[in-house]
Each structure stands twice: as C-alpha cells, then as structure tokens.
Chain A
Amino acid sequence: MTMIENNVSAGGDTIQYVTVVIGGQLFGLPISQVHDVFVPESVTRVPLSAPEVAGVLNLRGRIVTAIDMRRRLHLPPQEDGQMMAVGIEYKHESYGLVIDAVGEVLNLPGSSAESNPSNLDKRWAEISGGVHRLDGKLMVILDVARLLGTMFPEPMAAAAA
C-alpha cells in the first residue's frame, strides 16, 4: 500500500466525497463527516470573535457555529448569490462551513489521492488533506480536523488571566 494522506488511508476502498465549491475551487468532504446541507439564514454575528467565524445560527434547535470558508481560505468575500452551508460535527459540537455551492457526491478510490503539491499556499496546505485529479479539474480534500483544530483559541488565554 502506498503512503498517502491520513484521512484517506482506507487503501483500495473508495471514499465518498461531498463536493463543494469555494471561490471557484472544488473541495471534497468525506461524506461520513457531513451531517447536513442547509441554507444559512439569520446568522447572528459574534462580536470579538475570530474573523473566520461568520456567526452562530439555529439549525433545528441546535446552535451551530458558522465558519466563513472564503475567509478561512483567505479568499475575497462573495459578491452576491445564495450561500450554502455544510453541517459537520467536530468534538461533539456542530459547525457549519459556509460555502458558495454544494456539488455532487463522488466515489473516489482512496489510493488515487495525491499529497499536497509542495508549492501550495501554506494557508491552504494546512487544511488540505490531499488532492484528487478529476476530469478536467482538481478536487482538494478538506481535512475537517485540521480546518477547525487550528481555529481554537490557544490555552495561553488561561495563563494570561
């Protein structure tokens, strides 16, 4: 078995990805991590929070923290048009990744994933779990754990207090 990125280590098995578009780029999220797809409505902004935090919203009675993926990826904000969000769960809490559009579900063999090109923007590389070559385009695998993990405030805050 070839050495490949951690979250596609299922070897020869195929992995189902939900594809999403952010700023024209195709991304893939392992379907096992996607809980729902919804239209983010009445998002309450959270003052003083990190710029990537779009706010909080009520998703069927659960409070979901919405992450502005464009901002997370250092892309310019979307001019207009309908936004979409993908609901995921991380460490028993709900998050919504606000994206431009949701695509389709793809079955891709885990072994065909390639590791990040070495010249990939550092800020992208840190949240990408590899790249799939599709017909005519590339799909970047979003590594949810790394995507959200880096956004948590450092425990330094405690020391400061």
Chain B
Amino acid sequence: MDDLLREFITETNESLDVVDVELVKFEQEPNNATILNNIFRLVHTIKGTCGFLGLPRLEGIAHAAETLMGKFREGVPVTPEAVSLILSSIDRIKDILGELEAAEGEEPTGDDSDLISELERMSMSAEAVVSGGEAAEPAEEPAAAADVLPEQTMERELRPGEVSLDDLERAFRETEIEVEVADGEAGAPAAADEAAAPVEVAAPAKVEAAAKPAAKKPEKEKDEPAEKKAGGSSVSNQSIRVAVDTLEHLMTMVSELVLTRNQLLEIVRRHEDSEFKVPLQRLSNVTAELQEGVMATRMQPIGNAWQKLPRIVRDLSQELEKPIELEMIGAETELDRQVLEMIKDPLTHMVRNSADHGLEMPTERREAGKQDKGTITLAAYHEGGHIIIEVRDDGKGLDVDKIKQKVIERGLATEAEIDKMSDAQIHKYIFAAGFSTAASVTSVSGRGVGMDVVRNNIELIGGTVDLRSTPGKGSSFIIKIPLTLAIVSTLIIEAAGDRFAIPQLSVVELVRVQHNSEHRIERIKDTPVLRLRNKLLPLVHMSQLLGIYEGEDIEKAIDDDNGFIVVMQVGSQTFGVVVDGVFHTEEIVVKPMSTMLRNLNMFSGNTILGDGSVIMIIDPNGVASAMASHASSAVAEQSEDEAEETGRKAHTSQSSISLLLFRAGAPEPKAVPLSLVTRLEEFEVSKIERSNGRDLVQYRGALMPLVYINDGDQHKLEGTQPMLVFSDSGRSMGLVVDEIVDIVEDNMNIEVGSERPGVLGSAVIKDRATEIIDLGYYLPQAFEDWFMRKEMDIQALTKKVLFVDDSSFFRNMLTPVLKAAGYDVTTCDSPRQALDLLEDGRKFHAVVSDIEMPEINGFEFCEAIRRDPRFRNMPVLALSAMVTPASIERGRQAGFDDYVAKFDRPGLIAALKDVFSGEMGVAA
C-alpha cells in the first residue's frame, strides 16, 4: 500500500468520524448552514480523493450522498430518514475503507447500487419538493464566501439540464481532478464549470489539509489566501500527523535516556567533587523536560474516545423510540492514548446500557414527572493522578428487586445472604459474569456479556468502576483510571533476597512490625492477621505469594519480628503483604513482559532500575486474586498434606481403605468398601412392597429392588429396615442388612479366598475375620442387565482393556465396574505379566494400571510400554491411591494419559471414555 493511500485512509476515517458527529448535530439544527457546509465539504473531499485514487465504489457512494446533501443546502427540509440514509452511506464507506486497509489498498468488490439508488431516489423526491423555487440558498451564503459563491452562480445557471450525474462526474474528472459542481445535482454545460473549478476545488481540499491530492495541481497554489480565509479552524495547520510507532519509539528512547541518566547520577554520587556534576545536572533537567514533552505527545483529549457516542446515542434513540440527549462535559480532559484506547469500548457499552436499561420510555417518564427526553451525561475530570469518568443517566435507577431475583436465579447468592445485603452491595452484582437485567435480549444490550467485561477491561488498566443508583432518579457509573500506563510510581520492596516494585496506586500505607510495638502480627489458627485500627487485615508474605520462600517452614515466613507490612487495597479488598524490606519509591517506565512470561498474572510488567538491573513489577490485581484464593488453598494444601500422609500410610501398609462393616444373615461381620456404597437408608417395613415375586421399595420416585445377602433371607417384620443403597446411572439397588456396625479404616488383605458366590474372601478387619462382599455378584440380582445397559454402546464393547493391579481386592472391585461400563477386561496381577501379554501380541485398546506395585511400579511399567513403538499411542491410565500434583506430574512424565484416584469409579469410566473419544486429556 503506498503512502498516499495510507494517508488517505487515516484522513478519511477521521473525516468520517467528524461527519458522524456533525450529522447528528445537523439533524437537530437543520438550519445551521455552517454545519451543513462542513459536512458537505468533508464528503466532497472524500469523493474527490477517491476519484483521484481510482476507488470507484467509494466514489459512487460518496457522490450519491453528497448529491442528497446538496439538496439540503438548497433548502429541502431535512428529514430523519434522509439523515439515516446518509449515515448508513457513511457506514458503508467506513466498511469499504476497513476492507481496503486490510487488503493493502485493493478496493473490495461489491455492489452498492441499493444504497445509491436509495440515495438518488431521495434526492429526486427532494428535487420535486424544491423544483419550483430556487429560494433556499441565502442561508448558506454567510458561511464561507470563497467557498460558496462560485457554486451558487453555477447552480442557478445549471438548473434546467438533466444529465446523468455519473456521466457528468466522469466528464469533469477527465478535465479537472475534482469539481465541486457535481454536487449541484443537475447536469450542465462544461464551460461554466471549468471556469469555476480551480477556485472551487482548492478550498475544500485545503481546508482538510488533504495535502497530497491537492499538491498535484499547481494551480491550487494560488488559492492559498482564499483557503486561509475559508478554513476557520487553523489548528490543522499547526499540527502534523506522526505515526504512533514513531512516538512509541521516541518514548522508548526517552525511557532509555532516563535510565541512563539515573545510572550516571548513581556513579557521580559515589565520586565527590566530580567535574561531571554540573553538566550532569543540566543533562538531568533536560532529560526530565524531554520526558515530559514526549509524554505530552501521548496525551489526547478524552473527547476522542467519545467521538462515536453521539451517533450511537442517536441511532439508539431511534431504535428504542426514546428521545435521548447526550451531554458531554470535560471532553478536553487529557489522558494517555493507550488508556484512551482501552476505555473506548467499555464506555460505549456503558452508554448503550444507560440508554437501553437506564432510561425509561417517554410515557413512563411522563408518569414519573420527568421530561420526555432522557439525558445521559458523560463527565471527565482529573483527580490526583487519576482521571474520573462518569456515565450518568436520569432514568429509573437500578431495579434492586429484579437484580435480587436474578442473583438467586443464577445461584450467585442465597436468599438469606441477599436479605442481609445493602442495596449498594446488590447493585454490584450487575458486574458479575453473565448477568443481564434486561428482561429480553435486545439488539442493543442484554446479551449478558456486558458489565463484567466492562469491569474487567477497566481493571486491566488498573482502574476501578463504582456505581451509584437512586431509584427513580437514575444511576451513575464512576470509572477511575490512571492517567498513564507508561510511567508508574512504585514502591521498591525486597522479599526473599529479590527486589520487586509495587505500584503506589494500590499501596495504602506501610506498617512496621515489631514485637513490642502496637502493631503486631496475631494468628487465628495458623492464619496471620494484623490488627490495624479496629480492623483485621489478612496477611501473607510476599515470598509465599511468589513461591520463593527459602526458609524451612513457610509458616515461619511471617513470624520475623522486623518485617514491613505493605497494606494494599484493590477494589474493595484490603490486605497486608509482608515484605522483608522497603527501599524507596521510584518512578519507573513500565516495559511489557516477554510473551513467554505474560501468563504470570502476579506481574504486570518489568523495568530497568537506575542501577541497571531488571525488576519485576507486581500486579496488585494478581496479588488480590491470589490472596483471595490463598485462604482456600491453605486448606487445600493441608488436606493435600493429609491425603499424602494417608497415601503414604497406604503405601507402606498396603491399601488401607474405608470399609463399611455390617451384619446380614449371619452373626459374623461383613464388609464392603465404603466408596462403593451410595447411601445408607432405613425404610419403614410397611413401605416394603412385594411385586412379581420380589421385594421392592419406592425410592426417589422409582421402584428399587431389594436384594438379600443369602437367598431366602427375610426383611424385618416391624420397625425399620436398614439397607445399603448402591446406585449407578439412575438405577438403585437396596442390599438388605440386619445392622450397620461401623465404618473403619483398615487394610484389606484378603487372606482366604472364597468359593462361595457373593463373597470375595475373608480378611482380618478390626481383629476379626470379616467377609468381603462381592458387589459384582449382587448387582445383577437386582437388574439382570446391570452390566449390560444401554450405556454399553457397541463401540465400548469392542474395547479391550488391560487392567493391572497387584491387589486382588482392587482387581475384583474394579473389574465389574469396568465390565459394567462395557469394556472387555483382562486382568493381570503384575506389570511383568502384563508386559508378557503385550509382548505375545495380545491386542488391547487401553491399559489401566495401578501405581504402587512391588517389583515394577506403575511409572516404570508405563515407561516400558512407551518405549515400545507399537504401544506408543496406546492410552495408558494411572490408578492410584495417592493423587497429589507431584505424582500426577510424575505420571505425566512417565507417559500416562490420565491419572485417576483409585476410588473414583466415575472418574475412571470418564477417563476411559475420554481417551477413547480421542480427547487425550492431560492428567489433571
């Protein structure tokens, strides 16, 4: 794409934005000739340049729109339909421009005849209205004399002719580049035009500072004075267009300069009486000024972000049939363009929301004693290093009841919790993800992706959003954002020997902790807290948050007497971060982190300090969310520790599991693994019914068959009957027992096998010989097809699974489970046997292996499988009593596709399903 075209695109986009705004203004003030002229000129320039650059599509639309606007100039009444039509033409032009830019200068193909014919039709009907009189012109005369006069003379002459506009335009282009005359709707003898053209063309083109196309025509040069007169705003002449990249680069270089200066100052400080001192001081000042200057180039009025809003509000107003006025205060307030870009979308969204949800329909407004026309106010102002933007409407305010209802509906809070909340707290729920109070989804808003995205975007740039709402009076959103993202004032702290920078913005205060001082760290259980002015502040050590604590016991990190507490506030969350040392504050230039590190949400960037070293900048939002999850993770960690402990125990003393002891049919105890039992129930014996020769109870809306341990056993005759309920995919079976004895944690060594069906064998549990029940025997008694159900699809049936476990108990327990899910299971009691089977060429679709096995453990087994290219892609699942992140990671490294806890039967089935459906889930 050549420079000319690029410049054209930028410039045209800008012009179009102006046209948008002006058109909306014009609609309200149809008699304001200045506005009309302004619009007219802009569109004309676009048209002219398009013709010059050979962009026929753009030119066609611009031309037709211009023609219609020409009618307005002649005094045709301005109708909203006409304005809408022009606006949609502008939109079309924007679309084409966008594609043009994307396609590197290739005008996209497409047909605009619909729009053009519509525009022409409108022009024609307008023509009909005025055809009688040529009276309307005087209104525009005072606007820009040099600009308008020649045209008028022409127009009067031209009126009668009726030549096709396009033909005329083409004819003109062949002689001159751009000819204003074309907008005078009717065709004409060329002579008059050509005479008028030079004067005509120059003015609009120059006013727009459309230097390139204009410069090609030497004759335009002489019109300079005329242009000066015409171009009322001289600002454009005093500013130049600079590519953002250039500025960014400049900014970077200045940052470097600042850093280098800091380094020099550091050096000079060490050398007394250095002759460098004075010039360095000078350098320092100049650098500071330069930095300020460059920063200023990045500042832009917030009005730039608001530019599109009048148009949006206008369209909304029509669409929703609510008259809306948009008031903008403080549009000149400046902020960094990076920040500006980031708040554009949230702002737009909020204004849409206010228009759609906030403001009532005119009838409602009248009933409430308000003006028909609703007002949305945008206000911006500076406040201590921040910029505050307020989006306010005078509508009905937030509907607390509706929000409450939604909150409960979505399960975001319970009714009881809601009742305790203040209105302000309830209002906050509109920022929750997927929350939308609009009763119906409209094209405007109410898609439920609104306010949470807004809040996220604002928080992303270190801002906050607050909300106030008064029923019947309206609501207002208050956004607070930092002026710039480039330079941040930070506090340099030390933790575990490393330095980090914390943005000052989120630091509320610093507290020195000493054993005998009034501020002292206390503990609730193991959670450290700080009592600070009647508030309890949760504490965490920075090195703990960052996982870099080097001491033995992480709990001790905070115990040190002489630490500092950085009290931070993020949103509504206040907490203390304990650090080892606090150095000083420093203004730093934030540099984005390498993409490789950008996933670390604990840091927002990094920078180079005065001494030349790199420092990581802490992201307060990341700390806050880590803080919020810290409490729960501490618990998790603990239970994890416990789990590991039990796991270790299990490992040393073999599989220790929870067993349910019961008595049934005989005095000796029986046991079944607790994890297999779904529920323990007691039923009134009267509830037990007999049907079709078997006992049933009505359970959860279905009939549950009862099964007895021994054939011929009877249920009790009075009182209640205890039973163990086993459920699996919607089916339940009740195993009738005499008495539930206990739940014990014990080893499961089946020492004596059993020949009797229904019993796996006997084991010593609680020092008593206990029969271990084989559930796989009883389940089919309840439903004969228990193991042959519809979930056993044909595909699963054909899948052969090799199950390796040294413990016969688990083999016996899980084989029915796998079979029930429809797999063809082969069991092995050792990896060696399994490897032999594989070696023999037995085909399996997947392997499920225990981890804790003698001789060869599961990890080694899996590695052995993976070494053989034939089995490299065969799914292998790990099954272990010990599920810790470390063991999962170890499993992943060994080549396991998934890692399932031994008692997690549904998890095992799901994992198998996953690997077979091709979703090779990484162990998680």
Chain A residues 39 to 71 lying within 8 A of chain B, measured CB to CB, are 42, 44-50, 53, 55-58, 61, 63, 65
Which residue of chain A has its CB nearest to the CB of B500? Answer: A47
Residues of B within 8 A of A91 (CB): 595
Q: Is A48's CB under 8 angstroms from B547's CB?
A: yes
B546 within 8 A of A: yes
Q: Is A63's CB under 8 angstroms from B595's CB?
A: no
A108 within 8 A of B: no
Q: Is B616's CB under 8 angstroms from A46's CB?
A: yes
B635 within 8 A of A: no
Q: Please tell me which stretch of B147-155, B195-203, B606-614, B762-770 contacts chain A, meaning at least 4 of its Cβ atoms lie within 8 angstroms of it.
A: B606-614
Which residue of chain B has its CB nearest to the CB of A45? Answer: B498
The CA-CA distance from A27 to B256 in the complex, in Å, is: 34
Chain B residues 615 to 669 lying within 8 A of chain A, measured CB to CB, are 615-616
B598 within 8 A of A: yes
CB contact between B256 and one of A53, A56, A61 (< 8 Å): that residue: A61
Task: Evaluate whether A56 and B606 lie within 8 angstroms (CB atoms) in the complex, with A49-B597, A61-B256, A93-B594 already known.
Answer: yes
Residues of A within 8 A of B596 (CB): 50, 53, 65, 93, 95, 148, 151-153
Q: Is B608's CB under 8 angstroms from A58's CB?
A: yes
Which residue of chain B has its CB nearest to the CB of A157? Answer: B599
Q: Is B602's CB under 8 angstroms from A95's CB?
A: no
Among the interface residues A47, A94, A148, A151, which one has the most CB atoms of the partner chain B within 10 A? Answer: A47
Among the interface residues B599, B608, B612, which one has the most CB atoms of the partner chain A within 10 A? Answer: B599
Q: Is B546's CB under 8 angstroms from A65's CB?
A: no
Chain B residues 239 to 264 lying within 8 A of chain A, measured CB to CB, are 256, 259-260
Task: Evaluate whether A44 and B615 lie within 8 angstroms (CB atoms) in the complex, with A49-B600, A53-B596, A93-B595 already known.
Answer: yes
Residues of A within 8 A of B602 (CB): 47-48
Residues of A within 8 A of B595 (CB): 91, 93, 152
Residues of A within 8 A of B606 (CB): 44, 56, 63
The CA-CA distance from A139 to B603 in the complex, in Å, is: 38
Q: Is B594's CB under 8 angstroms from A65's CB?
A: yes
Closest chain A CB from B548 CB (angstroms): 5
The CA-CA distance from A86 to B283 in the complex, in Å, is: 34
Chain B residues 672 to 725 lying within 8 A of chain A, measured CB to CB, are none
Q: Is A48's CB under 8 angstroms from B546's CB?
A: yes
**How many A residues, CB 8 Å from partner?**
25
Main SS class of interface, B: mixed
The CA-CA distance from A47 to B598 in the complex, in Å, is: 12
Residues of B within 8 A of A53 (CB): 596-597
Residues of A within 8 A of B614 (CB): 42, 44, 55-58, 63
Residues of A within 8 A of B608 (CB): 58, 61, 63
The CA-CA distance from A160 to B498 in the complex, in Å, is: 30
Which residue of chain A has its CB nearest to the CB of B612? Answer: A58
Mask, B331-345, CB within 8 Å of A = 1, is 000000000000000
Chain A residues 63 to 114 lying within 8 A of chain B, measured CB to CB, are 63, 65, 91, 93-95
Task: Evaluate whether A56 and B594 lie within 8 angstroms (CB atoms) in the complex, with A49-B600, A61-B608 already known.
Answer: yes
Residues of A within 8 A of B615 (CB): 44
Among the interface residues B547, B594, B599, which one has the most CB atoms of the partner chain A within 10 A? Answer: B594
The CA-CA distance from A160 to B57 in the complex, in Å, is: 45
B591 within 8 A of A: yes
Residues of B within 8 A of A42 (CB): 612-614
CB contact between A153 and one of B548, B598, B607 (< 8 Å): that residue: B598
Q: Is A47's CB under 8 angstroms from B613's CB?
A: no
Closest chain A CB from B609 CB (angstroms): 9
Mask, B535-553, CB within 8 Å of A = 1, is 0000000000011100000
Task: Evaluate whether A47 and B612 lie within 8 angstroms (CB atoms) in the complex, with A53-B597, A63-B606, A152-B595 already known.
Answer: no
The CA-CA distance from A157 to B597 in the complex, in Å, is: 12
Q: Is A46's CB under 8 angstroms from B547's CB?
A: no
Which residue of chain A has its CB nearest to the CB of B626? Answer: A48
Residues of B within 8 A of A47 (CB): 498, 546-548, 602, 616
The CA-CA distance from A161 to B751 in the complex, in Å, is: 50
CB contact between A48 and one of B498, B594, B600, B612 (< 8 Å): that residue: B600
Residues of B within 8 A of A57 (CB): 614
The CA-CA distance from A153 to B616 in the complex, in Å, is: 19
Residues of A within 8 A of B591 (CB): 63
The CA-CA distance from A53 to B616 in the complex, in Å, is: 14
The CA-CA distance from A42 to B612 in the complex, in Å, is: 9
The CA-CA distance from A17 to B599 in the complex, in Å, is: 33
Closest chain A CB from B259 CB (angstroms): 7
The CA-CA distance from A48 to B546 in the complex, in Å, is: 6
Residues of A within 8 A of B498 (CB): 44-45, 47
Q: Is B600's CB under 8 angstroms from A46's CB?
A: yes
The CA-CA distance from A95 to B607 in the complex, in Å, is: 16
The CA-CA distance from A38 to B552 in the complex, in Å, is: 36
The CA-CA distance from A125 to B596 in the complex, in Å, is: 21
Residues of B within 8 A of A56 (CB): 594, 597, 606, 614, 616
The CA-CA distance from A148 to B596 in the complex, in Å, is: 9
Which residue of chain A has its CB nearest to the CB of B611? Answer: A42
Residues of B within 8 A of A48 (CB): 546-547, 600, 602
Q: Is B613's CB under 8 angstroms from A58's CB?
A: yes
The CA-CA distance from A75 to B791 in the complex, in Å, is: 48
Mask, B542-579, CB within 8 Å of A = 1, is 00001110000000000000000000000000000000
Chain B residues 730 to 763 lying within 8 A of chain A, measured CB to CB, are none
Which residue of chain A has its CB nearest to the CB of B866? Answer: A122
Closest chain B CB from A73 CB (angstroms): 15
Residues of B within 8 A of A65 (CB): 594, 596-597
Residues of A within 8 A of B546 (CB): 47-48
Residues of B within 8 A of A94 (CB): 594
Residues of B within 8 A of A152 (CB): 595-596
Closest chain A CB from B633 CB (angstroms): 14
Q: Is A44's CB under 8 angstroms from B616's CB?
A: yes
Closest chain B CB from A90 CB (angstroms): 9
The CA-CA distance from A93 to B548 in the complex, in Å, is: 26
Residues of B within 8 A of A45 (CB): 498, 548
The CA-CA distance from A148 to B595 in the complex, in Å, is: 11
Closest chain B CB from A144 CB (angstroms): 13
Among the interface residues A44, A50, A94, A157, which one has the most CB atoms of the partner chain B within 10 A? Answer: A44
Closest chain B CB from A142 CB (angstroms): 17
The CA-CA distance from A42 to B595 in the complex, in Å, is: 21
Which residue of chain A has its CB nearest to the CB of B615? Answer: A44
The CA-CA distance from A55 to B614 in the complex, in Å, is: 9
Q: Is B594's CB under 8 angstroms from A153's CB?
A: no
Closest chain A CB from B629 CB (angstroms): 13
Mask, B586-597, CB within 8 Å of A = 1, is 000001001111
The CA-CA distance from A55 to B606 in the complex, in Å, is: 11
CB contact between B594 and one of A58, A61, A95, A157 (< 8 Å): that residue: A95
Among the interface residues B259, B547, B595, which one has the most CB atoms of the partner chain A within 10 A? Answer: B595
Task: Evaluate whether A61 and B616 lie within 8 angstroms (CB atoms) in the complex, with A46-B600, A93-B595, A152-B596 already known.
Answer: no
Closest chain B CB from A121 CB (angstroms): 12
The CA-CA distance from A17 to B239 in the complex, in Å, is: 50
The CA-CA distance from A48 to B544 in the complex, in Å, is: 11
The CA-CA distance from A56 to B594 in the complex, in Å, is: 9
The CA-CA distance from A153 to B612 in the complex, in Å, is: 28
Q: Is A46's CB under 8 angstroms from B597's CB?
A: yes
The CA-CA distance from A56 to B498 in the complex, in Å, is: 13
The CA-CA distance from A153 to B597 in the complex, in Å, is: 8
The CA-CA distance from A96 to B160 in the complex, in Å, is: 77
Which residue of chain B has its CB nearest to the CB of A155? Answer: B599
Closest chain A CB from B887 CB (angstroms): 18
4 smallest beta-carbon distances between A and B, as pairs = A153-B599, A47-B546, A65-B594, A44-B614
Residues of A within 8 A of B (CB): 42, 44-50, 53, 55-58, 61, 63, 65, 91, 93-95, 148, 151-153, 157
Given contact pairs A65-B596, A157-B599, enumerate 12 new A-B contacts (beta carbons under 8 Å): A44-B498, A45-B548, A46-B597, A47-B498, A47-B547, A48-B546, A56-B614, A58-B612, A61-B259, A63-B607, A93-B594, A93-B596
- Listed by A's residue number, 12 A-B pairs whose Cβ atoms lie within 8 Å are A45-B498, A47-B547, A53-B596, A53-B597, A56-B614, A58-B612, A61-B256, A63-B594, A65-B596, A65-B597, A95-B596, A153-B596
